[in-house]
Structure formats: C-alpha cells, structure tokens
Structure 1
Amino acid sequence: MDLFDFTPEEPKKHQPLAERMRPRNLDEFFGQKHLLGEGKVLRRAIETDRLTSMILQGPPSSGKTSLATIISQMTNAHFVRLNAVSLGMADLRNAVETAREDYKLYQKRTILFIDEIHALKSNVQMSLLPAVEDGTITLIGATTESVMHDIIPPLVSRCRVYTLTPLSDEEVKEIIATALTDPQRGLGEEDLSIDEDAMRYLVDVSNGDIRNALSALETAYYSLWDTKTITLEKVKEAYQLRLNNTSTTDFYNLTSALIKSMRGGQTDAAIYWLARLLYVGVDPLYIARRIVVHAVEDVGMANPHALQVAVAAKEAVQFIGMPEARLPLAEAVIYICESPKSNSAYKAINKAMDLVRNTKAYDVPADIRDGSKSYVNPIDHPNSRIAYLPPEVNGSSFYKPQNSGVEAKIYARYFGEKGTQ
C-alpha cells in the first residue's frame, strides 16, 4: 500500500510513531518558514493548487515526503508517487503516457512525485524533459543530495529548486513534546513525562532528524517497566549512535571547510573537519588526494616539502588503511596548516593555460627544438642568448614569487630586498 493511501484522520496504531506524527496540513508542518510561512510563494502555490515543477532539496527528515503528502491531499490534480531507486524507463514512460491521456480525455492534470530523484540515471532524467517542458506533468522531485552535482542541468533549469533546512533544536523539542501529549497519533494516552536532561540529549543527538528522534523516543517508551518517566539512561540505551549522516551537499561543504581551514592556517578547525569527514565514512584516499592538491595549490613554493609530506600521507593511507590512516592524514593536515602559504605556482600555470587557450599554437623557437644546432647549454654559457618563447608571446610573465617562507629568497632575487622590481 502506498503512503498516500493513508488518510490523516485515521492513524494506524501499528505504524511507527514517526509515521503517525507526520503533519496532516501546512499548519502542522514544523520548520521551513522561509518556504511555507504565511504569504510565502510555495505556500500560496500549494493553497491555490497552482504548482509548477520543482525539486525539494534537503537533509533526511527535513519534511520533503511529508510536504508531498500534504500536496497530494490538497491538489485536484492526479497525484502519482514513484521512487527513483526502483524506477525504470518503462515505468516512467507509462506514467507520462497516462498523464497525457488523462489531460486529453478529462482535462485532469498530473503531479508526478519522484522520491530520491538523484538516483535516476542521467538518460532517465533526460526522458523527463519533454513532459516537464510541455506541461504534461508537474514534476516534484525530492532529494537529499546536491542538485548541482546529482541532477542534470537541463532538468534543474526547468524546475524551481526549494532548499529545506534541518529542523532547529526548538522545533525538534516541540515535536517531541507534541508526540508525548497527542492522544490520537502520539503517546498521550500513556501519561508519559520526560526528564529535562533526557529531552536535551534526545534533541542534541538527533542532529535535526526528527524521524530518528521519534524512533528513539518510541523505543525508550517500550523499555519502560514500572515508571512513566523517560530518563536520560533510557534515551541513551535507545539511541546508542550519534547520527552524523552526510548528503552530497554536506560532503562538498565538509571538504570545502577542511581545505579553507588549511588555507587559513587554522589547525584546530582543520583537524575538526578532518574528523567529521572520517566519521561519516568518506574515503580516506579521497581526503589524502585533496591534501596533496592543497599542498601544491596553497603552500606551494613557500614550503616545497609540504608536497612530499602530503604524498607520503597518501601512500601511508593506501598501505595501512583505516582506522590507522587517520594518523598520517592528521599529520599532513597539521604540517600544511603550520606551513607558510604561497599560491604563486597555482597562479602561474593558470595564467599560462589561459594564454594557451586563447592564442594559436605558435611554433617552438628554433633554438630549443629537438635536435637544434643553435642550442647552447646555458649552464656552461650563462651569457648566451636563446629564444625560449615564441616571438608572438615573448615578454609574457606567468610566475610572480611571493614573499613567504622558502620562496622569500626567490622573491628577493626578483624584486630586491625592498620588494621592487
């Protein structure tokens, strides 16, 4: 049976507490005031049944499926729910053809809700484009992943993207309190109470994921024997693992935080973000590669040894694996954080690449061609005049040393002790 077959007025007692406590209308919907507050565009579109194709992007348990449930109950359109994980091209084609026939014969619109839309292969996403563009279907896609990385750009451009944010601690606390007192859908008939420290822990450990918070609350309730009070001990027994799951968006944000902390020389912050990446199960070899890139991009000529340390850390990760691999990664991160910084090599190659990209492929000067008869070794003949660049780009300057670390010696040679050329 599909989720949308359940009527909000008739909660099923055998359902998990988190399912029973789903909001039944927009007034019961917690969070997302930036989207669903009074007068907001999305709320008005739902209330007036004038939805356009959209993608709901947000972390788990931020309300994407609950919002789709509410829309299914408020719209006059035919509402179809599909899950991308098990969705094939034939199923999608049938849904679109049915939508086309419904509108042709009965002038009935179709809203197609695709959960986990990021799981669709790119060619299947492409097949949606004509139906979305001509209005055959109004698409609502839900994803926990990055729209920019996991959804094809042509589909994104045809949809409004609404970003849902994690529930705040106060919102989680309010939902838990409601679940404890609601006699119809919650645990109100049991006359339960919860200690303040247990409530604080439950709110904190849920990390904004109300589904897991309610599941833990329900488990703690089932464990009660001769008391009606849910204690901190019971919550901890029910919730033994702090959930710090990461989506694609979180993954890129965490990686960005690590890189920028290293660039800023913020060692404690960098170690924290490294720990976060490792804790959620990011491939340590991926982290090692990012450290190698940073060693040359932002430390570079100021401390050339940083590249050696980073590469050694990468090889150590491959050699020993986790969990010990966290140690060479931490060492490399600390070394890079504490190193002087220079991005002169990064700027030099980018400037040269831009010139190559925007000019023709000039001939290699005769002096430095393979087998050249006019080439003179400059080590033996330091005053020899050799053409190293094509005459069309002669005089171009790419490398500008920075007055930092080891590179300060090169800087002085280029610009003199006072920093003037």
Structure 2
Amino acid sequence: MSARGSDLFSLASGGDTPGEGDLRPPLAVRMRPRSLEEVAGQQDVLRPGSPMRRLIEGQAGVAGPLSAVLWGPPGTGKTTLAHLVATAAERTFVELSAVTAGVKDVRAVMESAVRERSLHGRQTVLFLDEIHRFTKAQQDALLPGVENRLVILVAATTENPSFSVIAPLLSRSVLVRLGPLEDEEIRGVVARALTDERGLAKEFVLDADALEHVVRMAGGDARRALTTLEAAAGVAVDERAAGREDEPARIALATVEQAMAIAAVRYDRAGDQHYDVASAFIKSMRGSDVDAALHYLARQLEAGEDPRFIARRIVISASEDVGLGDPTALQTAVAALHAVAQIGMPEARIILAQAVVHNALAPKSNAVYAAINAAVADVRAGKGGAVPPHLRGSGYAGAARLGHGEGYRYSHDEPAGVGPQQFLPDDLLAEDVDYYRPTGRGWEERLGGRWAELRRIVRGR
C-alpha cells in the first residue's frame, strides 16, 4: 500500500487507549497473535505440514513432539510462535531469559515439568530467549529434558545457531529461520493494532505519510513498529484540542517524528526512492567518492534504515567492487557487519562509516565477480565434462579398481609446490578457459604475473 500527502489511513474498533492506565502491557504485548491466522509473515515457516506448524498444532512425530530453535532478527515472531506452541495444544508455558537465568532455573523448570506431567498429564513448553547468551555448561543442562521429551524447548536467538548453540542440542531440535517482515506485512500489523479491541480501538487515525514513516522505521521489526505507534499515540492524545475527546486523535507525520525524536528524511514523494538511495550509496563507494558515499549512508540512517541492511550491502560491495584490489576491505566489512549486530545505533553509524570509507578508498577490481559469473555461465550452458580420473576420490573400497586417483601428482611434492597436471574437464581445457583476469590495480597487480606463471606451469603452456 502506498500513500501520500494528507490521505488518512483510517481505523476502527474499541478498547483501551493511552491514558487509561499505566499498568496495561505494552501495545506490542497486547497485540501478540493469539492464533496462526493472526501471525504476520513467515508463510514458509508456517506452511501446512511444516515442522513448526505441526508443533504448534500439537501433532507429534514418531517419538513425540520435537523442540525448536527459532533464529531470526528482533520483532519477527519468535516469542509469538513459542506462545502458540504452548497455547494451541494446552501445554504449560514457562519463559526464561538467558540474560538472567542460570542452571538452577533450568533445573527448577525440569522439576516442575515432571510434576505437570505426572499430576496433570500436561507437557511443558520452555521458551528460552537469547539462548546464544547461555554458556556451553548452561546449554548442557537443557539436554536431558530435551532428549527425554520432558520439556518442549523453544529457544530463540538472533545469532547463527551453528556458532552459538551446542551441537547436541541442535541435533535434537528443528531449526526454524525467520526473516524480517515485508513492508506490507508491517502495514497490516499497524492496521490491526489500530482496529483491534486489544490495541488502539478506533481512537486514532493515522496519516498515510506517518504510516509510511512508521513502516520505514520498523525495518521489518513488528515490535518496533508497534512501539513507535504507541509512542505516537501518546503524543497525539496530549496534542488533541480540549473539548474534542469524542473524536479520534490524529497521528500525523510530525507526531511520529516527535515521538521518535527523529526527523523523517523523505527519500521522495512516492516513497520508493529508498532503492534509489541504496543504489546511489553502492555506486558512490564503487566510484571512490568518499563524501558522496557518506552522504547516502547518513540519509539511510536518518531515514531509519536498518543498519544491518546497510552493513550487508557494504560486505557485498567489498567483494563485488573491491575484490582482490584490496583483500582487507572484505575483512573490514565483515567485521562491521558483526559489530553492528552487537552494538546497534547510534554508535553503529561510526562502524559503518569506517567500512564505507575503506571501500571507497580501496583500489577497485571486479575480476573475481566477473570470474565466478563466467564460470557459472559455462556450467549453465552444459559445459564441463567428467572429473578427470586422477582427481576423483580414492579413499573407499573399489576406487583403485576403477582407476580413481591413479596418476595424481601431489602438489606439495613438486619443487615449487606446483607442477603440470590436468584439473579442468577435457572440454574446458580444450577451450583453455580463462575466467579470472586480474587487473593491474592495488594488490591484484602482483597477482596478475603469478596467475599467468601458474597457468603456464599447470597447463604446460
């Protein structure tokens, strides 16, 4: 849905509104989906028959219900899905945070789960938020309960579980990866909050440009969108003229700006120049204009762009545009990607700026980018015959009878660590393919001569 100017995004229904009591849960908590039908996004994760959907619907596998590790950015539904796992099958729900919980708390949950199963015949769902903060010893304490199906563990993490969750726990769980919500899905979340009795309940109207700003600020995070909306609603109540309490309060763009204390930087009137600014950002780094690259970085940050989105673009540019012209640019970019995820705004702007300046100043080469594209094109065209016999795997019974590995020359035994030998399939060798063509810029200048000499030795030409 796109909107402009002073068009109103109207809302309806009844319920509590800001100012009716300070003890109500936050809007994001009140609007947490109560059923699968209310969940925004994640269609692939929740498709019929998927492990997550079966777990929510209470369908057991051969050995009973599995546990799950939910991996995704904030505000994408990890806590919601954990609640649904518990409520849909009338299970007992226990929530712990790895920030504050320890082994003692985990053991207490296990003891309680035994009582629930013995006395009431109910399974216990343990939702463990930020499991990546648990040490190996703490995660080990979960294993007996998970292995014996004493509890259904639903663990949430924003970190890659392959590095942050111990292998035995991962092997006993379904890994569910959640992605950021699309803009249209965020609009739906906001619309529902404005109309639902649990939310703002027809007490507010939201200007279209204010809605677009809320969506842009959210960056795919539903919780952030609802928090922004709730803060803006509080400002709108204060701004509403006296004697007009019976009319819906208006949330304008200025209201959202005031609530967030951030000015809405307009990409353009249609709201789609988001992509133009991102494009200009990449091209400015590629073109070595540091000032322009920093300008477009600042525009994205001030408009509420997710800094992780920006960091990913910098990593791509470090390989696509800088490549081996300066191999350290990728190291800086990857370090920035990880640092931004840990630090957050506003300090993340400094980290991103460092990576941007490095990319912009580095010698440029797209030789690696062009090389892999050329190789992929040949594969898609059907080129590349059988792997030469001497390169085939020879570490299994019967390989020798097939001639696999026969005649292979171990490169480390060669005087220079390299010798003549066929590595390419016959058809590509006959074409004398030349995918990687180093430039004469930066670090790659010294690689050009080395690659030419290596090709001459390996191919005997």
1:59 maps onto 2:73 in alignment = yes
Unaligned stretches of 5+ residues in structure 2: 1-14, 242-248, 263-301, 344-348, 370-394, 396-411, 421-435, 439-444
Which of the residues 200, 211, 216 maps onto 2:223?
A: 211
**1:180 Cα deviation (Å)?**
1.7
Which of the residues 306, 312, 336 maps onto 1:244?
A: 306
1:212-266 CA distance string (max 9 Å, x none): 21222122222222363221121122222626365xxx89967853543355589
Distance 2:89 2:166 in 1: 28
Contact kept in structure 2, 1:118 and 1:145, CA below 8 Å: yes
Q: Which residue of 2 aligns with 1:261?
A: 320
1:198 maps onto 2:222 in alignment = no
State the secondary structure of the residue aligned to 2:362.
helix
Q: Which residue of 2 aligns with 1:231?
A: 252
State the secondary structure of the residue aligned to 2:73.
coil
1:73 maps onto 2:87 in alignment = yes
**1:143 Cα deviation (Å)?**
1.3
Which of the residues 22, 38, 41 maps onto 2:32?
A: 22
Over 3 Å counting, the alpha-carbon distance change for 1:277 and 1:411 in structure 2 is closer
Distance 1:82 1:170 in 2: 32
State the secondary structure of the residue aligned to 2:149.
coil
Distance 1:279 1:88 in 2: 26
1:161 maps onto 2:161 in alignment = no
Contact kept in structure 2, 1:244 and 1:280, CA below 8 Å: no
Which of the residues 191, 201, 206 maps onto 1:188?
A: 201
Contact kept in structure 2, 1:52 and 1:159, CA below 8 Å: yes
TM-score of the pair, normalised by structure 2: 0.58
Opposite residue 217 of structure 1, the aligned amino acid is: L
Opposite residue 316 of structure 2, the aligned amino acid is: A
Distance 1:329 1:215 in 2: 31
Q: Which residue of 2 aligns with 1:117?
A: 131
Distance 1:415 1:28 in 2: 60
**1:159 Cα deviation (Å)?**
0.4
Q: Which has the higher contact order (CA 8 A, sep 6+)?
A: 2
Opposite residue 177 of structure 2, the aligned amino acid is: T
Fraction of identical pairs, as percent? 31
- Higher percent of residues as helix: 1
Contact kept in structure 2, 1:65 and 1:142, CA below 8 Å: yes
Distance 1:251 1:197 in 2: 23
Which of the residues 393, 398, 413 maps onto 1:393?
A: 413
Which of the residues 36, 55, 59 maps onto 1:45?
A: 55
Which of the residues 364, 368, 375 maps onto 1:337?
A: 364
Over 3 Å counting, the alpha-carbon distance change for 1:218 and 1:80 in structure 2 is closer
Q: Which residue of 2 aligns with 1:294?
A: none
Which of the residues 107, 130, 135 maps onto 2:149?
A: 135
**1:163 Cα deviation (Å)?**
1.0
Distance 2:37 2:122 in 1: 27
Q: Which residue of 2 aligns with 1:377?
A: none
Opposite residue 233 of structure 1, the aligned amino acid is: A
Contact kept in structure 2, 1:262 and 1:333, CA below 8 Å: no
Contact kept in structure 2, 1:263 and 1:341, CA below 8 Å: no
Contact kept in structure 2, 1:116 and 1:142, CA below 8 Å: yes
Distance 1:399 1:325 in 2: 44
TM-score of the pair, normalised by structure 1: 0.63
Opposite residue 198 of structure 1, the aligned amino acid is: A
Contact kept in structure 2, 1:78 and 1:109, CA below 8 Å: yes
Larger radius of gyration: 1
Contact kept in structure 1, 2:325 and 2:363, CA below 8 Å: no
Which of the residues 212, 219, 233 maps onto 1:221?
A: 233
Over 3 Å counting, the alpha-carbon distance change for 1:324 and 1:113 in structure 2 is closer
Q: Which residue of 2 aligns with 1:6?
A: none
Unaligned stretches of 5+ residues in structure 1: 1-9, 285-321, 343-357, 359-391
Distance 2:335 2:259 in 1: 23
Contact kept in structure 2, 1:197 and 1:232, CA below 8 Å: yes
Contact kept in structure 2, 1:262 and 1:336, CA below 8 Å: no
Opposite residue 235 of structure 1, the aligned amino acid is: V
Contact kept in structure 1, 2:311 and 2:336, CA below 8 Å: no
Over 3 Å counting, the alpha-carbon distance change for 1:151 and 1:409 in structure 2 is closer
Over 3 Å counting, the alpha-carbon distance change for 1:105 and 1:328 in structure 2 is closer
Distance 1:18 1:262 in 2: 41
